[in-house]
A = this chain, B = another copy of it.
Amino acid sequence: MKVDIHTLAAYLPHMAKPTDSKAKTLSAAARLMRQQGYHGTGLHDILATAGSPRGSLYFHFPRGKEEIGEAALALAGETVRLAIVQAAASSETAETFLARIARGMASELAKSGYKEGCPIATTALETSAQSDVLGAATRTAFQKWEAEIKRGLERFGLPSNEADLVATMALSQLEGAVLLARTYRSLTPMHRAEQALKLLLRDPRGR
């Protein structure tokens, strides 16, 4: 969406005084994991993409690849969360708010040649049964997005229980649509998701 992941790396609260090489390593890792997942991303790929020396990697991330993965997921999660905040701030209605999120995702996917969909989903699916650390990091990212969507919906007047319900439905719709769009190399599922989001908003409790 509109926040640059590399710039953001310098401001994340858990990284006091980040060095340039640390920030570069994390933004490279986040990007590679987004494109090809955690298992498909080797330490050598991260070093080559970041242009960092191997020694700096062990210095900044003594626990190795899992520690880099965890921090990269936190960075990617925060980038998307801020994009959701921006979408709410620049919208007038719940409908335009959700549409803006969908369009942001669609635009990033198309601009990247269908390589960059959700930055969390691939690693979540690969590692949820294998790594407690990465499983928790992916869960935290999704939960923060859901909470931010809920907050946005409340801002546009939805009662808390409806906002809670619609936030989950909307995030599921968006995540599934970006998965299909990426696999099909077509934005059709994203356009249809935008229509679906309108329907989910019209009467979320199904009265």
Contact = CB atoms under 8 A, between A and B. Distances in A.
A179 B124 contact: yes
Given A139-B184, A169-B193, A173-B173, A117 B125 contact: yes
Is chain A's interface secondary structure helix, strand, loop, or mixed overall? helix
Contacts of A128: 114-115, 182-183, 185
B177 A126 contact: no
Given A193-B169, A204-B199, A138 B174 contact: no
Contact of A142 (B130, B143, B165, B183): B183
A8 interface: no
Contacts of A198: 206
Contact of A192 (B39, B122, B135, B169): B169
A172 interface: yes
A146 to B, nearest CB: 8
Interface of A: 35-37, 39-40, 114-115, 117, 121-122, 124-130, 135, 138-139, 142-143, 165, 168-169, 171-177, 179-180, 182-185, 188-189, 192-193, 195-196, 198-200, 202-204, 206
26 contacts: A35-B129, A37-B37, A37-B39, A40-B127, A115-B128, A121-B125, A121-B179, A124-B179, A125-B179, A125-B182, A128-B182, A128-B183, A135-B183, A139-B184, A168-B180, A169-B173, A169-B196, A171-B180, A172-B193, A173-B196, A175-B175, A176-B176, A195-B206, A198-B206, A199-B203, A200-B200
